[in-house]
Amino acid sequence: MLKKIYHLGYAVEDITVAARFYEEHFGARVGKPEEVEEQGIVATMFDVGESRIELLEPTRPDSPVGKFLEKRGEGFHHVAFQVDDLEATLKELKESGVDLIDEKPRVGAGGTLTAFVHPRDAHGVLTELVELPKDRER
């Protein structure tokens, strides 16, 4: 059911400053930040081998990432697992009584489908499930 770790999400105060850190010190090639209005974030990614790191900066303090930053400060925010069929995965999870933040897939950056599982049930880790568009491998 889980194909691989698709990305790790980091909550940051300033996405430009954070991107520069990984570029300067780790040679990362960070993509152009993209705003996801619905989630109140600006996000970008850089590859780490097969996987990637997602940097998230809130665009408003009352967004989920904004609240996270205020409460916990910068740091690890969520893990994203790649799945083949998100709709079917969510259905199975729901039937097993797993607490879902999103019961239906949402369209995320780059045409991916994504949904979050509540950290309450996932042992304290906010867990995102991602399905890639059919014409995209990664």
18 is a site residue for Co ion (CB under 5 A): no
In angstroms, give the least distance from the CB of 93 to Co ion.
Answer: 17
Instruction: By CB under 5 A, name the one of 12, 80, 113, 117 that touches Co ion.
Output: 80
Give strand pairing partners of 107. Answer: 113
Nearer to Co ion, 93 or 114 (CB): 114
Give strand pairing partners of 116. Answer: 128
In angstroms, give the least distance from the CB of 21 to Co ion.
Answer: 19
57 is a site residue for Co ion (CB under 5 A): no
CA terminus-to-terminus distance, the chain: 17
Q: Which residues inside 93-132 make contact with Co ion, applying CB under 5 A?
A: 128
Tokens 């040679």 belong to residue: 27
Secondary structure (3-state) at 137: coil
9 is a site residue for Co ion (CB under 5 A): yes
Nearer to Co ion, 57 or 128 (CB): 128
In angstroms, give the least distance from the CB of 80 to Co ion.
Answer: 4
Q: Which stretch binds Co ion (CB under 5 A): 7-15, 58-66, 89-97, 98-106?
A: 7-15
**Separation CA 82–CA 76 (nearest Å):** 18
Q: Give the strand pairing for 113-117 and 127-131.
A: antiparallel
**Separation CA 91–CA 104 (nearest Å):** 9
Neighbours of 66 (CB within 10 A): 18
In angstroms, give the least distance from the CB of 77 to Co ion.
Answer: 8
Site residues (vs Co ion, CB under 5 A): 9, 54, 80, 128
